[in-house]
Each structure stands twice: as C-alpha cells, then as structure tokens.
Structure 1
Amino acid sequence: MTYLLTLFFISIVLAVISGIVYLIPKVPTRYVHVHLVIVSIPVFIAFIGLVFMNEMIDIGFWHLDTLSWLLAFFILSIGLILQRFSVRYLDGDAQYRKYFALFTFLTTLASVAWLSNDLRLMTCLWGLTLFCLTLLIGLNAKWQITKRVARSTSVIFFVSWLALLIAMFMTYNVTGEWNQSLIFKGDNLAQFKSWQGIVIQLLLVLSVIIPAAQWPFHKWLIESVAVPTPVSAIMHAGIVNVGGVILTRFAPIFTNEWVITLLIIIATVSVLIGSGISLVHVDYKRQLVGSTIGQMGFMLIQCALGVYSAAIVHLILHGLFKATLFLRSGSAVRHFDMPSRMNESVSYIWVLLGRLLAIIIGIMFWLMAPTNSYQIISALILAWSLSVSWTQLVAFGEGKLGRIIGLVALVIVGAAYFAVHHLFHDLLYQYSIYSNETPLLAVIIMVILLLIGSGLNLWIGRNQSSKFVTIIYLWLIHIGEAKTQNIETHPHYLKNHLFKGGYKHD
C-alpha cells in the first residue's frame, strides 16, 4: 500500500504541474486534452486503492482506509467530469485556462485533505480548498456581481474554517495529540465529556453547517447562482458535502445529546426551507439550490442519528446526481401541466391505494429493527417518498399502460437504490466510524418536525387560496432570492465586448 500511496501522490503532483503549465499563454489551448489525460491518472490509482483496501493503515501523515480512498476517488472523479464538460462549455471565456487550473487545485486539495491523519494538515488543506473555491467564484473580475459574491462568501467560509481551526487546537489541548488515530483511543475519548469537549462539538457543528448551506447560513449558496455552471456543479456536488465527512471522521467525540439535538433542529428546519424554495421558484438553478439545502440537511440528520455509513452513501449519490442536473441545466425544461384526470375518482382511488401501500411498507421496514432510532426516521421518509412517487408515476399515469410503466419504473429505481446502498454499506461497514447511541430526545424532535412538515404540506395543498398559504409562499420566494445588488438579468460587462468580437484565448 506504501507504493500505491507514492504513485498516487506522484500522479497528484503531475496533475497540479499540468494545471500550472496550462496557465502559460504560449502553451496551445488544445493542451487541455493532454491535461485531462494527466488528471485522470490519480482517479485510476484511487480506484485501485479503493478496490484493494482491506485494512486501516497509518503511513506518516496519512491514514488509509476504505473511506479515505472512496472520498479521494469520488472527489477526483467529479473534478475530471466537470473539467471534461468545461472544455466546450467555457470555450471563449477570458479566464479559460485559470478555470482548469483552479478545478485541478481544488479537487486535489480536497481529496488529499481526507487522506491526512494529522489535524493540522487536514485543516490547512481544507482551508486551501475553500480559498480555491472563492477564487473560482470571483474569477470573472469584470463582472461586479461575482466579485461581490466572492467577497461575501470568503467571509463566511473563513468563519467556518476558523471554527474548525479552533476546534482542532482545543482537541490538541484536551488530548495532547495531533494524530487522529491516537485521539480516538484510550483515555483520550473520556476527556471530551468536559465542557471543552462540548465547545469542540459546537465548533464542529458551526464548521459544517456553513459549507453545507444550512439555516441560517444558507444565503451564500443562493447568492452563488450567478457563477458559471461548472463552478456551481463542483459546489453542489462536492464542497457542500464536507459536513458528512467531518462528522464521520470525528464521530467518537460527537456524543453530547444537546449538541446532537441542536444539529437535528437546524438540519430539519433547513430540510423544510430547502424543499419550500425548490417548490416555489421557477428558476432551474434556484430550484437546485433549494434541493441541495434540503438534501444536506437530511445528510446531517443521518450523522446526528449516528448512521454515518448512510450519510456517506447519501453524499456520494447526491454529488453524482446534482452534478448531472447542473451539467444538463441548459437543456432542462420544466412543465407544470397537471394531469387531465386529476378530478376523476379513479385517480384518487389509486392515490389512496398508494398511500396505504406506503404505510404498510414503512411499518414493515421499521419492524426490521424497531429499537433502532434511525430505522424510525427511515421508515417515515420511505413511506412518504413511496407515496409521492406512486402518486406521480402510477396514480396519474396515462391510462393502464402509463400506470404499468410507472410501476415498473418505481420498482426498478427502488431496487437500484437498495442495491447501491447495500453495496456501499458493506464496503464501509468495517472501516467507518459508528455511534450506536442516539439520544431519545433528538429522535422525538425529529419525528415531530417531520410530521409537522408533512401535515403542513398536505394542508397547504388543500388550501392554496388561503391568506396563510399566500404568506408562506411569499416568504419562501423571499428567502430563496439573492440580494438585489447580486441580481442582474444580463451581465452588463458583456455589452463592452459586444462590438469587439468577444474574448479570445488563442
């Protein structure tokens, strides 16, 4: 494994050097294809590490296990896909070369950060990752909006990184160790029961909810919709997922029931707000922003409930799915036409049948492990998701054939999800960190909030013309909008280039 790690870092260094070389103006633009080949090498090596990793190994500053290689492979793969997409998408941009260099730097730093076993190295690498993202956001210096967004984002990212930095120094003060493997062993864990341990956990919560765009720090992601689509994709597919990674790595010390309850409340509110934003806004990228806020909230709930393997699976599948949605955003068309049979009694019979089926399956799922706290939440979410999917795909399907096709699609998607979920779960089971004790108070609050949100959703659907619904609708529109000074129907700086033939990069 030492040789594989050496090869991995050699390939990483070559990718970084290639990105720097591409910044030289004399290097032909077509060199980008050579650069993509070089960037693909560490992806291949990380995949080999993932396949053949069957133990946990500490080598110097590095901690190698299945989770480390999985994260490295995922991050580098996303980076490669986005750079390949940008070859044509960003063609003609004045900063064309810089985008590829910064994409390479960002994904390289992020992948190496989660291989590190030293708290100082991990914190520095993650800080540099956020710095590269800030540079990407403000790369178009001629557009004032992205410059303002980059400035505001850099401030809030610094707060997140500073919270992580203080938490790491306090961890060293409590344990006397910088090595993660030693921090979680022996008497060191008992030290986190003190007030210092609670402060460390609170700082970790602050450091993860900011990049995850959780309430009340969700505005930075809403403001960022002005950036180019590949930059948005790398934010939504990679950067926002860091909360699940950090909490998974520090799971053994994340045990205080009041801190866990606080995280669940913040994440649940974010799920409701994010879902509301994605429903009321018509702008496609803003809908994706709302979806990301909600999905990251659910991922943090999984962490708070101690199911870290589910959180890792969630962040990987969400990253791939959200990257796909952003890369196809230019051709996305949303239709709001309601089915013509919506008032027919037969449709409502199918709806009721679907809800009954969802309840039965949810109860059966819960009975598999009735004492597992996360199983309760999963059963509720599974029943709700199945009910919604049944309504959309089966109840309002076009005729008998449409219902059959909808049912087959629902079965295939469900089977594929469970197959992928169990594959990753088995892969991570022996090498991920688990916390089996979930505070009962946190579970009760989570269930109550989910039921309130579901009930509110049903009530709104039946009382769409009421004053209360109008107020909620307008409020969701408001919180989903960027600041006025960060909204521009058309980049004004482009007017200066309209009659100059546009940008050229040889």
Structure 2
Amino acid sequence: MLEYLPILYSIFLVISLCSSIILLIPKVSLNYVRIHIGVLTLPPLVALLALIFHVDNIIWGPLHFNTLTWLMAVFVLTVGLIVQRFSVHFLVGDRSYRQYFSLLTLTTAAGSLAWLSDDLRLLLICWGTTLLGLTLTIRLKKEWQVAKKAASTMGRYFTISWFVLLAAILWLTQTTGYWQLSQVMTQDSLALLETWEKTCINLLLVISVLIPAGQWPFQRWILDSAVAPTPISAVMHAGIVNAGGILLTLFAPLFNGSIAQIPLLILASVSVLIGTGIMFVQVDYKRQLVGSTIAQMGFMLIQCALGAYIAAIIHAVLHGLFKSTLFLQAGSALHHDQPLKKSKKPASFIGKFSGIMFGILAAIGFWAASPEDAYQLISAIILGFSVSFAWMQLIVFGHGRIGRISGLILFIAGALVYGLVHTGFHHLLHETIGTGAQPSIPAFLCLMFILFIGSAIGLWLSRNRTSRGFTILYLWLVQLGEPNQAAVESHPKYLTQYMSQGGKKDEFSINIK
C-alpha cells in the first residue's frame, strides 16, 4: 500500500491544479474557494504519511521520492495551504481574488515538484515556473505602478538566476552524459569533470542561489518586494528564498571541497552583517523582516559552504515557518494604545557573569561532541552567544521574581525543544543527506575573520553612538535598506481611481462568510 503513495501524491497534486483552474471560471461561486482549500490539504497529507512511514528512495518516472524530497513537499505545500487559508478573508474584495489563489497554487505545486525532480530538465522547468508564478502574483495589481516596478525588478533578477542555473546544468549534463540527478551525482560521473570545470560549475551554482536568496550584492529585488501583499510575502520568505540551501544540498557531492566555498562564505557572511544592520535601522516592520531574511539566508548558505547540509535544511524549514508566521501577523505588530516601555535597568555583575558562563559552558559542551568538525566550532560560538543572550533577556532582565521564574522556565523549555527538533531532523535526514566534506582551512579562517571583525565593529559602535563612524554606518544602512525611488509611492493612486468610480458593485465586493 505504501508504495502507491507517490502515485497518490501526484494524482492529488494534479487535482489541486485543476481546482485552481476551476476557481478562475467567473460563473463559479467565490464560495468554491473553501472547497479549493480542502483539496489543497490532500497532497501535503499524503507526503506527511510517506515521511512518517519512511517511504524512501523510490524513483517513479522523473521523480525521486526520499526523506528529503518528502520533507520539502510537506513544508512547501503546508506553507502554501496556511497562506491560502489566511487569504480567504485577507484578500476578499480584491479584483484579482481568484487569480491570487490560482497563482499561489501553481507556485507552491511547482516548487514542491522542483525538489522531487530526478530529471534536471524537470527541475529547471518547475523552478522557473515557481519564480514566474511568484513574479506574476506580485504583478497582479497592474494599476499599482509600485508593485509593477517591483515585479519587473524581481523578474530581471530571477531571469538571470535561472539562466545561470541553466548554464551550470547544461555544462554538467553534457560532460557526464546524464540528465538524471541521481546518476550525475555518482562518483563515476563526477570523475569525468576536470577540476577547473567543477570550479566553474560550482561558481555558477553559487550565483544562481545567491540571487533568489536576496544576498549581497543581489538584495535589491527582495527590498523592493516589500510592497507585495502580506500573504505573498509570507510564501516568498518561507518557501522561495530558502531554495538556495535545498539546491546546494541536491548538488552536495559536486560542491563539497570546492574552492567555490570561499566566495560563497565571503558573500554570505557580508550578507549576514548587512541584513542584520538593515533590520536594526529600519522602522518599517516588513523591511525589518526583509533584513532578517537576508541575514538568516546568509547563515543558511554559510552552513552549506561548510558542509553542514542537514543543519542548512533544518534552518530553511524552521526559518520558513517562523518567518511566514511573522508576516501573517504583521497587522498586529504595532499597538498604539500601549504606553512606551521604560528602558531596562543595567544588569548586575552577577547577572552578566552568569550569562557569560552559561554561554561558555553551552559552547564547550556542544563543541566537545565532535571537536574534529570545523563547523561545530562555529556552531558552538553562535550557540554560546545565543544562550548568553537568552539568559540575559529572559532571566536577568525579568520583571520581579515571577518574571525571572517564568523566564527560567522558557529558557529550559527552549533548550529542550531545540534538542528534540535537532535530534529528530538529524535522525530523519542523516541517511539521505549524510555529512559533507570538511571545509578548507582558508575558508574556515576567512569566515571566522569576517564574523570577528563584524562583531568587533558592532560592539564598538554600540558604545560610541555619537561618533562620526556610527552616523556614517547608520545612514549607509538606511540608504541600503530603502527601495528604489520608482518603487515608492506616498499613496496608491489606483485607490483614488477606484473611489472615483462611485463604488461600482461587482462580484469582488461580496463578503465571504
């Protein structure tokens, strides 16, 4: 029975696409959208069952079903389902109401098929369809020039990324003689590539993943995309920008030990620093989330460059779920009726010392588990800082005894959840993904240098807020985080045109109850 799950999944995915086409028919009632949402629950449910019962390593036609591809199918389709359910009321009244659901269904279905593809031609088609669907979704408001401009910028960047990926795949397949990913990634096939050919193909792959991930210096499109409707932003930041880590994981045997790790590490590390800076200086909530995404995707690509592909996949999934939640609750981000909070009192010496000690102990314990792994040292440093920060925020700065006790409970609960999630994902994926090759010493030292310099500059600037350097950096980050002038409009002019039509009634003025 379990061997038929791939066929059942494919049938339900086709039914979902047919349902999205039915929704486009004007004579079909808008209430059909609820039936459509019900249909969308079937493919991720089948994928989840396959994941639970470990239906692994099945090649069915051009598709390859294993724990990684099932997980990606569950993740992408579940995010799409949640967003479309949220959009039932959020987008009601929009003239493109039907088109939004159809394009979202097409985009998420194509995205899930891209990572299920064993045929690289199908992967190219599905990934290109995903990028095209996202661009067209943002472009639906043709009357709004700002959205139109943002979609044009996004389309140009995505087109470049897709053609670069096309060049890498054509080079790879023509040299190895195979279009099947499972055959291309074998040691015998990769042995046909010269060292310089591997390096060139890897550099092409790096460029193709940096662009959709919104990494520096290709972050312009993701900054302009903040004008997209909230549900579209949720899908984009949860399932599209994460694709870089998934793509590099699929090509891991080709990428491991390559000199292309160094430029990837440099660009991703710079993106972490820039994204974090944009997040701190922006006052617009959605742009803060955009800056956070740039930084988080930088960390994910650093994990890939260091061979920690399981960690990158875990990061991609958890970041996608977390970031989509933040976007969907963006409307409740500001509470104007609440008074401003008083600044926190300086922490005591005991509080600071305890936070530092807990961070050091956590880092030592984590690194001691596998000291030979270079990535573990970097993870230990980041984990130690996170533990120290969490201890300070939840316990040291807690309000009263009850607040500190609650903070301690949350601290312990967070540590337990982290351990369970990390262990569960690692157990699920370690046979499919495995452990990547260790990074070279120059790559490791390059990353440590960039992160150390960035941390040192941030610490110095935080203590010298009145300095000239702080002012220059602050204004530079503000300017870097702002959209193009053509992507800014004080008031959407198309709304004025709609209001001047005298409230003409049409089917999009119907409220769905």
| TM-score in terms of structure 1 length | 0.96
CA contact (8 A) 2:257 2:438 kept: no
Equivalent in 473, 489, 501 of residue 503 of structure 2: 501
Identity of aligned residues (%): 46
Q: Does 1:481 align with 2:482?
A: yes
Q: Does 1:422 align with 2:428?
A: no
Letter in 2 for 1:171: L
Could you list the runs of 5+ residues in structure 2 that have no partner in the other structure? none
- CA shift, 1:454, in A, is 1.7
Supply the distance in 2 between the matched residues of 1:478 and 1:207 (Cα, whole angstroms): 26
Task: Give CA-to-partner distance per residue, 1:307-360, whole Å, 9 cap, x none.
Answer: 1111111100000000100000001127995655524xx534312320222122
3-state SS, counterpart of residue 238 of structure 1: helix
3-state SS, counterpart of residue 431 of structure 1: helix
Equivalent in 341, 345, 350 of residue 342 of structure 1: 345
- Do the aligned partners of residues 503 and 93 (structure 1) sit closer, same or farther apart at CA in structure 2, a change above 3 Å counting? farther
3-state SS, counterpart of residue 59 of structure 2: strand
- Do the aligned partners of residues 503 and 100 (structure 1) sit closer, same or farther apart at CA in structure 2, a change above 3 Å counting? farther
The equivalent residue for 1:98 is 99
Q: Does 1:194 align with 2:195?
A: yes
Task: Give CA-to-partner distance per residue, 1:280-327, whole Å, 9 cap, x none.
Answer: 111100000000000000000111111111111110000000010000
The equivalent residue for 1:158 is 159
Q: Does 1:44 align with 2:45?
A: yes
- CA shift, 1:57, in A, is 2.0
Could you list the runs of 5+ residues in structure 1 that have no partner in the other structure? none
Q: State how 1:443-482 maps to structure 2 within 5 Å.
A: 443-482=444-483
Supply the distance in 2 between the matched residues of 1:394 and 1:351 (Cα, whole angstroms): 11
Task: Give CA-to-partner distance per residue, 1:425-481, whole Å, 9 cap, x none.
Answer: 100111114313221111111112122222222212111111101111111111010
Supply the distance in 2 between the matched residues of 1:242 and 1:94 (Cα, whole angstroms): 31
- CA shift, 1:3, in A, is 1.8
CA contact (8 A) 2:256 2:307 kept: no
CA contact (8 A) 1:93 1:503 kept: no
Supply the distance in 1 between the matched residues of 2:176 and 2:434 (Cα, whole angstroms): 19
Supply the distance in 2 between the matched residues of 1:234 and 1:408 (Cα, whole angstroms): 33
Q: Could you tell which deviates more after superposition, 360-369 or 458-467?
A: 360-369
3-state SS, counterpart of residue 134 of structure 1: helix
Supply the distance in 1 between the matched residues of 2:241 and 2:191 (Cα, whole angstroms): 31
Supply the distance in 1 between the matched residues of 2:405 and 2:167 (Cα, whole angstroms): 56
- Do the aligned partners of residues 502 and 2 (structure 1) sit closer, same or farther apart at CA in structure 2, a change above 3 Å counting? farther
Supply the distance in 1 between the matched residues of 2:465 and 2:341 (Cα, whole angstroms): 15
- CA shift, 1:56, in A, is 1.3
Letter in 1 for 2:208: S
- Do the aligned partners of residues 349 and 101 (structure 1) sit closer, same or farther apart at CA in structure 2, a change above 3 Å counting? same
CA contact (8 A) 1:55 1:65 kept: yes
| TM-score in terms of structure 2 length | 0.95
The equivalent residue for 1:399 is 400
- CA shift, 1:67, in A, is 0.4
- Do the aligned partners of residues 340 and 173 (structure 1) sit closer, same or farther apart at CA in structure 2, a change above 3 Å counting? closer
- Do the aligned partners of residues 391 and 27 (structure 1) sit closer, same or farther apart at CA in structure 2, a change above 3 Å counting? same
3-state SS, counterpart of residue 242 of structure 2: helix
Letter in 1 for 2:503: G
The equivalent residue for 1:408 is 409
Letter in 2 for 1:501: G
3-state SS, counterpart of residue 154 of structure 1: helix
CA contact (8 A) 1:174 1:196 kept: no
CA contact (8 A) 1:192 1:253 kept: no
The equivalent residue for 1:184 is 185
Supply the distance in 2 between the matched residues of 1:503 and 1:281 (Cα, whole angstroms): 39
The equivalent residue for 1:239 is 240
Supply the distance in 1 between the matched residues of 2:387 and 2:44 (Cα, whole angstroms): 36
Letter in 1 for 2:295: G
- CA shift, 1:99, in A, is 0.2
The equivalent residue for 1:7 is 8
Q: State how 1:357-436 maps to structure 2 within 5 Å.
A: 357-436=358-437
- Do the aligned partners of residues 456 and 502 (structure 1) sit closer, same or farther apart at CA in structure 2, a change above 3 Å counting? farther
Supply the distance in 1 between the matched residues of 2:301 and 2:193 (Cα, whole angstroms): 21
- CA shift, 1:49, in A, is 1.4
Supply the distance in 1 between the matched residues of 2:94 and 2:247 (Cα, whole angstroms): 35
Supply the distance in 1 between the matched residues of 2:262 and 2:504 (Cα, whole angstroms): 53
- Do the aligned partners of residues 54 and 31 (structure 1) sit closer, same or farther apart at CA in structure 2, a change above 3 Å counting? closer
The equivalent residue for 2:230 is 229
Q: State how 1:315-326 maps to structure 2 within 5 Å.
A: 315-326=316-327
Letter in 2 for 1:278: M
Supply the distance in 2 between the matched residues of 1:50 and 1:125 (Cα, whole angstroms): 22
Supply the distance in 2 between the matched residues of 1:110 and 1:188 (Cα, whole angstroms): 27
- CA shift, 1:502, in A, is 6.7
- CA shift, 1:184, in A, is 1.8
Supply the distance in 1 between the matched residues of 2:475 and 2:339 (Cα, whole angstroms): 19
Supply the distance in 1 between the matched residues of 2:366 and 2:356 (Cα, whole angstroms): 15
CA contact (8 A) 1:198 1:256 kept: no
- After superposing on structure 2, the runs of 4+ consecutive aligned residues of structure 1 that deviate more than 3 Å are 334-341, 346-349
Q: Could you tell which deviates more after superposition, 357-366 or 95-104?
A: 357-366
Supply the distance in 2 between the matched residues of 1:7 and 1:433 (Cα, whole angstroms): 28
- CA shift, 1:58, in A, is 1.7
- Do the aligned partners of residues 333 and 502 (structure 1) sit closer, same or farther apart at CA in structure 2, a change above 3 Å counting? farther
3-state SS, counterpart of residue 139 of structure 1: coil
CA contact (8 A) 2:351 2:396 kept: yes
